[in-house]
Structure 1
Amino acid sequence: MIGSVLTRSLRTGSSITLRRGSVSPQSLNCVSAWAHSNRGNHTLPDLDYAYDDLEPAISAEIMKLHHSKHHAAYVNGLNAAEELIGSALKAGDIKKQIEHQAAIKFNGGGHLNVSTFDIRSFGKTSNLRSWEVAKWWMVASFTGLFSKAVQQEFGGLEQLKSSVNASAMSIQGSGWAWLGYDTKLKKLVIVNTGNQDPLTPQIPILGIDMWCALLVILSTVEHAFYLQHQNRKADYLTNIWKVMNFAEAERRFKEASSS
């Protein structure tokens, strides 16, 4: 139960508040034991495709930087933050526990978001894991319940692309443009989140990392000023759909809409 509470807090970005006198010593010991046993266990997931497999949508150089440097930093940061919060839990230091929640949210959100982007959103593999595909999934693979929902709510794939891209273009700096499923409204919605904040309470179906757009811009013109190169951002958003894994989107949509 403790593990599920901490995991839900990470997913939603909510705070875990422990007031002195409101939690029994036994419960605090359980929290401490859980944190001690689970902290530092996060690892950088391998990609099931080469860094250059997403070209020209995303260059090999940018994909390598995104995965081996940025994603690795989130994993290391999350492990370090869990070590710190685990020590604070063990010591009963409520103030330190609260202080370290921001690092858990940032690095944990980054790890969750980038895992979605790197590992599941694109694919070129012969592996049989449920979220992987055996070839590129282009527009021809846009079928099934997800396709029907997009047609009903947006008017078709091209209209969806236009709406998501317009939302993504409004992001200044780092952030994410999401197509999520709202379980209360029972429909697909487009939502932006800043930095590495995870999508919540909606369930992510597709996500576009706009930090990659910044990397595309900066790799093209050294020390380029962001607002002077909006055309590169638009190019990134156009190309990213060419390698979008619609089979994974279909799987996520089925799972989300049946929950």
Structure 2
Amino acid sequence: MHSLPPLPYAYDALEPHLDEQTVRLHHGAHHKAYVDGLNNAEAKLADARDKGDYALVKHWERELAFHGAGHQLHALFWENMRPDGGGHPHGAIAARIEADFGSFEVFQKYFSTAATVVEGSGWALLCWNRNFGRLEVLTVEKHQNLALWNTVPLLACDVWEHAYYLKYQNKRAAWVEAWWNLVNWEDVNRRLESAGD
């Protein structure tokens, strides 16, 4: 059984860039719903295997992908932020950004634009592509679809409206701009190191 991971900081710790009410609702309701949905889908699939009844396997596989992806991306999102975060990256991730995008400023503008223009509810991700040996920016309109295989997500910006609407209303670009003040580059570096070549 999966469980809702605790936040690595207090609910109000990301103020003023991300308000306490949004963090509580986003973590305690939205993320928890993904965890509950994932557990339910896994239980239904286990039951189908036990009974040899696969009539609803397509439905439960979709539920598994939707809730499982939502849970994993949210877990990444929370750890990718920290109080007093932001600024320029350092260490290995800074070197990779320089090599793959030319400069942090180019990368930041590219990532911000991707996050702002992704259609509907979605995500912007910085990923390590093991096949290509480079960083990639991906946009995810539906988090259970549009995967680039053999990539490891390192940094996630949630642009579903529940991530920012209470504070930023319909101003997604303002949320993305504020989010840069929260980025936990230490976490991104750890993820890059463990992603391997």
Task: Tell me the TM-score normalized by structure 1.
Answer: 0.70
Per-residue CA distance 1:169-194 (angstroms, 9 max, x = gap): 11122111011111111111111112
Q: Does 1:107 align with 2:56?
A: no
Tell me which residue corresponds to 1:217. 165
Tell me which residue corresponds to 1:207. 156
Higher relative contact order (CA 8 A, sep 6+): 2
CA contact (8 A) 2:19 2:167 kept: no
Tell me which residue corresponds to 2:116. 169
CA contact (8 A) 2:38 2:64 kept: yes
Gap runs ≥5 in structure 2: none
SS in 2 for 1:204: strand
Tell me which residue corresponds to 1:121. 80
Q: Does 1:247 align with 2:194?
A: no
Q: Match for 1:155 among 93, 102, 113?
A: 102
Q: Which has the higher helix share?
A: 1
Report the aligned-residue RMSD. Answer: 1.8
CA contact (8 A) 2:22 2:162 kept: no
Tell me which residue corresponds to 2:36. 76
CA contact (8 A) 1:110 1:196 kept: yes
1:220 and 1:116 map into 2 onto residues whose CA distance is 22
Larger Rg: 1
Question: Superposed, which structure 2 residues align to 1:53-72 within 5 Å?
Answer: 53-72=13-32
CA contact (8 A) 1:56 1:239 kept: no
Deviates more, 1:67-76 or 1:90-99: 90-99
2:144 and 2:121 map into 1 onto residues whose CA distance is 10
2:72 and 2:168 map into 1 onto residues whose CA distance is 28
Shift of 1:220: 5.3
Tell me which residue corresponds to 1:32. none
AA at the equivalent of 1:217: Y
Q: Percent identity?
A: 28
AA at the equivalent of 2:81: F
1:215 and 1:249 map into 2 onto residues whose CA distance is 20
1:49 and 1:195 map into 2 onto residues whose CA distance is 28
Distance 1:167 1:185, change over 3 A: same
Q: Does 1:188 align with 2:135?
A: yes
Task: Tell me the TM-score normalized by structure 2.
Answer: 0.91
1:154 and 1:77 map into 2 onto residues whose CA distance is 37
Per-residue CA distance 1:103-143 (angstroms, 9 max, x = gap): 1011111111111112x11235xxxxxxxxxxx33325x21
Shift of 1:215: 4.7
Shift of 1:85: 1.1
Gap runs ≥5 in structure 1: 1-40, 125-135, 222-228
Q: Does 1:233 align with 2:161?
A: no
1:164 and 1:80 map into 2 onto residues whose CA distance is 34
Shift of 1:197: 2.4
Q: Match for 1:137 among 85, 101, 104?
A: 85
1:137 and 1:92 map into 2 onto residues whose CA distance is 50
CA contact (8 A) 1:137 1:247 kept: no
